[in-house]
Structure 1
């Protein structure tokens, strides 16, 4: 008699007793190696409903070979199979304090019990014996495609460091500075090189401005008071100015000279005038009224007006010439949402789309909001598509979304905002981050919503990963290609706690916590026949428990008798794969676009948003690189890249500006704001790179009256668009 021990989850989450996700079964770690990083082999198929708390699910990692796939003689040798169900305590894994995490890893196919899916002929995947001859090797350095010796190189993950100075090339203090004096009137910069004569307009930037309020300090980088920047380019000359966003949170904190508004990672100082009953009453107020309006993430145009964004439904209209804060809008006054992402999409006709969350009688729902171009964009806003969150009490954290010709793309990562905990945290005056839960054993879901009907058309599954930014997405020959800057888990959010940043030089794990890579997922749209074949092989209509009863243990297979999974991706030149799994879900394995950490990615947005593209631009996110302040241009077709860097210089998000009548996708310039590390706190600059060669055209540097921190996101307002306004 063979015995299979299967771990399953309890019926309910012991922590909340709500219908919520708990970690689903996971086999013991099996360390593998791939060409770009070390990986811990993990895979968890789902069964039944999405919530692992309310469904008993079985890991394929403990799954032996189906008897019908064995030879006749082998089947005769099989004895009775007994399944021992062993409950496993539920637990939540993402705490609000930092923790050591492994290097970002990938192993999207199941392994365990000496059985693994391995590549066979014709790009198929077969059950075969797995010989674990791998070792935990170091990440190798990657040279520049053009042979540039000054290019960024990833340090080895196990390199010995000076324990007091683990990252000698990285000065994280560029993020921790506080602006002490606004620059209301533009100051002129010293221009070196030649600014293209056609380049006229303003680079608008948003980001952290001050971590200090009186004698108090914010806990997290995302709490910092928003600071707006403007680099104005006119006839080869450049000026600079910066001003704080005059949000209600900023004005209240400044008036009180202490933190009186709770932020993402910081609790407000106790207010003796506000009792627990005031806080309970605030829960039932209008969305956005009980949260900070410190919109310090991004800037986007709505028609001829510019607005600052964060994830609350509050946005601020600013004057793009003076940076003055003009008005505050609560989008929940116009459409039924409780929050939205920091990154809406502006279409070529001026229509704006964003992803928000609505609360319905059936639970939280991800909704796509359309703001049609015109005089009354907000008054005419409407919800055009929606999909329910998979967990009623744990909707996913959303920072962005995608859009193609026919689909809205919603990527639901297993980082959620716990609704029960959020309600409790408001009563206890705790920051939002305390409500965030990471379910590392739950898969990532990718939803495709039809742009015409608003209905859910396809759902795809992938390994759990964390992300903030999608690079681009497009349709091609019956597939959706989706490029994302991915992390193994959300530990990088913990890396942005102020104390963690201050102590990063003594933390040898900091770089691994921040490790991410740009990955490409290819989602097949025509897989109905594969689903039918899968159903006949796997009996997918049956539960995983039923499937387990038909399985045998530990026998060798000949290749001819093996169970085959067909790769559904047929796009030429793509190594990303997708497979129909036994429960009829489509599981996607990504391919690596570039072996460098890439963040705040930008493309030729006006022309290639939602369309096939070749290049994206990003900043380095590898703090252990030889030069962490590196700009990167990636060719996603040839898998090559170009880099620009300067010692002690830290550029921000690169923005591509096309030349008039561009002859190619990279015919234009790349603009990036610059700050410098160490003792050069008052030095600010604007960099102008050739979009093709990624070499420097020109720069303008400024001496400011006080420190200027590094910024996050922005928008280029061309002089042409100014005149049209």
Structure 2
């Protein structure tokens, strides 16, 4: 159901829907030392390793960089491999941690381009084993069949120019056949018992169902509804009811908020928001949600239509940055009452991910927390030539709060959350206790930076109430998204563990387990090889 009211709030002018379609390619990673309000947590390591790491300083070692951003194709680990554990994983941790991310960067130009590979760690009474397998997408299979040559454009890598001409023509005609289905971004359980997984990317057709036990690809998901749009976010939000919410984007069309029942192949449209910069939509990788509202964040990063079709030149991979247009936050009631949709102006900002969002106790505002980049230059910093050179300073993304009014014509405002500038210079791939999603919370976890460095080299726990943080860092290493797993019968919000795959200074990976409260290391499971840089993960409790 499309919205019928004009987008008049805060001076926003509605644009008439048009029939032109411009689908493009897809869219679519112990001992504590106290200093002021910050706690730096340092892990204990063997003396030989510690000596090697100290020589690396804050920058990752070359061995870690080579293994993280490899051109090699990672071997699959089909059978479960038992891992050596140092320290201890809690015995209550029972189930599977599964992460999605590139299994190779061969022939690729950007960090977001590698072909999807699921990595699983299984926990049983303190023991840890691992498996890893590629998602058998059409894009990956044809890449192998063609001798490591692309058939589809990826986020920042174009197929050969002459081969792209039919794809460009298809896009102009409104045919999405040129979009990649490389499901490399996120993974989560697809059914109530967690026996199956969905691996996803930002193209609608890039959703694959896999078996949790074996990581074998079952099939590509197909929707049975008639909702049009070639892209959706790779971060659907699961509601307590078991339904999920997502945003579907149509070029020359609009932003559609959709609801889907678990295990259903039919989506229901809740609302449709016209494009403010027709025909180009804003890039929406993630979106905030509260108990009552879905927030469609139209920030001023817009698709460059020609670059998106051809992967030609654009200021930021395939996007334009138009800060003069500022941001518009479209607040869509979860109950589907489109007469109550609000459109609130906000300052220009750029982010990949939102930490959390919730309504204030007095019902007057929504708070939205995220890592705030001044512009999208981070997209250029994530080109593989840049990350491999390890020369560019990391882009600042301080943790910031948007306060959005739920009445009147006021605009949203930005405010700083952390007291310690050094501790919050860079924040990305954030996670929280999943039980606090969409409601008031206190703690967040993210990849962070111990400066100087070119990209995230640490993990941080943030106290949103006190504005303080704790940091884990080990010299020479590259950690990725910290996943918070609550303890059974948890007594507090931060009662649980934080899991992160870390590339070691020696080019071999380990799974790190931190106490979510103290942020001290509990244990690590050592792999005999390196796992390339990856993105998002889920924890699937053991079935009883």
- Pairwise TM-score range, normalised by the shorter structure: 0.7 to 0.9
Map of 1:115-264 to 2, 5 A cutoff? Answer: 143=35, 145-148=37-40, 168-169=59-60, 172-177=65-70, 178-212=72-106, 217-257=107-147, 258-264=149-155
Q: Secondary structure at the match of 1:249?
A: helix
Contact 1:220 1:498 in 2 (8 A): yes
Contact 1:169 1:624 in 2 (8 A): no
Deviation at residue 390 of structure 1 after TM alignment:
1.1
1:451 and 2:334 aligned: yes
Q: Distance in 2 between matches of 1:627 and 1:281?
A: 37
Change (3 A) 1:515 1:170: farther
Deviation at residue 468 of structure 1 after TM alignment:
0.6
Q: Distance in 2 between matches of 1:440 and 1:432?
A: 13
1:602 and 2:427 aligned: no
Q: Secondary structure at the match of 1:673?
A: strand
Q: Which runs of 4+ in 1 moved over 6 A?
A: 430-433
Q: Distance in 2 between matches of 1:390 and 1:475?
A: 26
Contact 2:244 2:261 in 1 (8 A): yes
1:483 and 2:375 aligned: no
Q: Secondary structure at the match of 2:372?
A: strand
Aligned to 1:413: 299
Of 633, 653, 662 in structure 1, the residue corresponding to residue 461 of structure 2 is 633
Contact 1:50 1:391 in 2 (8 A): no
Change (3 A) 1:344 1:587: closer
Contact 1:393 1:418 in 2 (8 A): no
Q: Distance in 1 between matches of 2:258 and 2:146?
A: 37
- Give the greater-gyration-radius structure (CA): 1
Contact 2:68 2:503 in 1 (8 A): no
Of 281, 285, 300 in structure 2, the residue corresponding to residue 399 of structure 1 is 285
Aligned to 1:518: 399
Q: Distance in 2 between matches of 1:608 and 1:368?
A: 22
Change (3 A) 1:417 1:146: closer
Q: Secondary structure at the match of 2:178?
A: coil
Deviation at residue 638 of structure 1 after TM alignment:
0.8
Cα deviation per residue 1:588-623 (whole Å; 9 max; x = unaligned)? Answer: 232233632111111111x21111001011111566
Deviation at residue 437 of structure 1 after TM alignment:
1.1
Change (3 A) 1:332 1:470: farther
Aligned to 2:185: 297
Aligned to 1:592: 417
Deviation at residue 278 of structure 1 after TM alignment:
6.6
Change (3 A) 1:365 1:240: same
Q: Which runs of 5+ in 1 are unaligned?
A: 1-45, 52-141, 152-164, 532-579, 581-585
Contact 1:483 1:518 in 2 (8 A): yes
Q: Secondary structure at the match of 2:386?
A: helix
Greater relative contact order (CA < 8 Å, ≥ 6 in sequence) = 2
- Count of aligned positions: 490
Taking structure 1 as the reference length, the TM-score comes to: 0.63
Change (3 A) 1:238 1:463: same
Q: Distance in 2 between matches of 1:300 and 1:238?
A: 20
1:657 and 2:485 aligned: yes
Q: Distance in 2 between matches of 1:696 and 1:278?
A: 49
Map of 1:695-714 to 2, 5 A cutoff? Answer: 695-704=520-529, 707-714=530-537
Q: Distance in 2 between matches of 1:396 and 1:465?
A: 12
Change (3 A) 1:589 1:702: closer
1:442 and 2:335 aligned: no
Q: Secondary structure at the match of 1:511?
A: coil
Contact 1:358 1:366 in 2 (8 A): yes
1:268 and 2:159 aligned: yes
Aligned to 2:49: none
Aligned to 2:257: 368
Of 332, 341, 356 in structure 2, the residue corresponding to residue 472 of structure 1 is 356
